[in-house]
């Protein structure tokens, strides 16, 4: 089985140039479906706190995706509420199948955010709040988010 690569390894393999500015325009969804809000910044800038405050400020509008982990459940934690608790084998299979927008290892356990978790928030008509590291976004943001939402609305 192929070993999972760290974000640092993926960045080192990339030949692409890092863009520091890209012109953008406002896009208003015709479907009325909510789109994820990605919070990104240097470590310690407060993205996690901002995500928590937004979620607490308007629980009807914002929610966070429930992450997946291979660590054991702690007292008081509920599967599907605090985390999706999965086996290491199933996590690795899902990662290999491209079901995560980001994942990594912390203290010998795997953690990740799945496309299905993001979709579950959107299906509840809420804005999914995500905090991603900048290096993860270089590889994943445009690939997955545009495919996740645009492909379902495309008529063939």
Q: Do the domain assignments include residue 67?
A: yes
Task: Give the model confidence (pLDDT) of 30-68 as tens digits.
Answer: 677 788 888 887 788 888 898 999 999 999 999 999 999
Distance of CA 62 to the CA centre of its chain: 15
* Long-range pairs, 131-136, Cβ under 8 A, ≥24: 131/38, 131/39, 131/40, 131/47, 131/48, 131/51, 132/38, 132/39, 132/40, 132/101, 132/102, 133/7, 133/40, 133/102, 134/40, 134/41, 134/42, 135/7, 135/8, 135/10, 135/11, 136/7, 136/101, 136/102
8 Å CB contact between 64 and 84: no
Domain count, the chain: 1
Written as six digits, the tokens of 35 are 């789109």
Burial class (CB in 10 A: 0-12, 13-18, 19+), 85: middle
The CA–CA distances, whole Å, from 52 to 46, 56, 112 equal: 10, 6, 18
Domain housing 146: 34-39+47-153
* Res 40: pLDDT: 81
* Res 42: pLDDT: 77
* Res 112: pLDDT: 93
Task: Give the model confidence (pLDDT) of 132-151 as tens digits.
Answer: 776 555 444 444 444 444 44
* Res 155: pLDDT: 46
Question: What is the arithmetic mean of pLDDT over 75-79?
Answer: 95
Q: Do the domain assignments include residue 120?
A: yes
The whole-model pTM stands at 0.66
Q: Do the domain assignments include residue 106?
A: yes
Tell me: pLDDT of 154 over 90: no
The CA–CA distances, whole Å, from 132 to 31, 36, 42, 121 equal: 26, 12, 10, 17
* Res 5: pLDDT: 64
* Res 144: pLDDT: 44
* Res 132: pLDDT: 77
* Res 87: pLDDT: 97
Instruction: Give the CATH number for residue 102.
Output: 3.40.50.300
Q: Do the domain assignments include residue 81?
A: yes
Task: Give the model confidence (pLDDT) of 96-143 as tens digits.
Answer: 999 998 898 999 999 999 999 999 999 999 999 998 776 555 444 444
Tell me: pLDDT of 24 over 70: no
Residue 83 DSSP class: B
């Amino acid at each position: 089985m192929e070993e999972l690569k760290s974000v640092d390894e993926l960045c080192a393999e990339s030949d692409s140039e890092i863009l520091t500015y890209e012109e953008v325009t406002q896009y208003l969804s015709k479907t009325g479906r909510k789109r994820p809000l990605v919070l990104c910044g240097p470590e310690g800038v407060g993205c996690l706190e901002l995500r928590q405050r937004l979620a607490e400020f308007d629980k009807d509008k914002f929610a966070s995706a429930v992450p997946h982990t291979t660590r054991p459940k702690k007292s008081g934690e509920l599967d599907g509420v605090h985390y999706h608790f999965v086996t290491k084998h199933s996590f690795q299979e899902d990662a290999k199948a491209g079901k995560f927008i980001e994942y990594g290892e912390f203290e010998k356990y795997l953690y990740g955010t799945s496309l299905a978790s993001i979709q579950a928030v959107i299906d509840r008509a809420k804005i999914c709040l995500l905090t991603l590291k900048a290096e993860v976004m270089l590889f994943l943001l445009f690939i997955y988010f545009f495919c996740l939402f645009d492909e379902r609305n495309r008529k063939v």
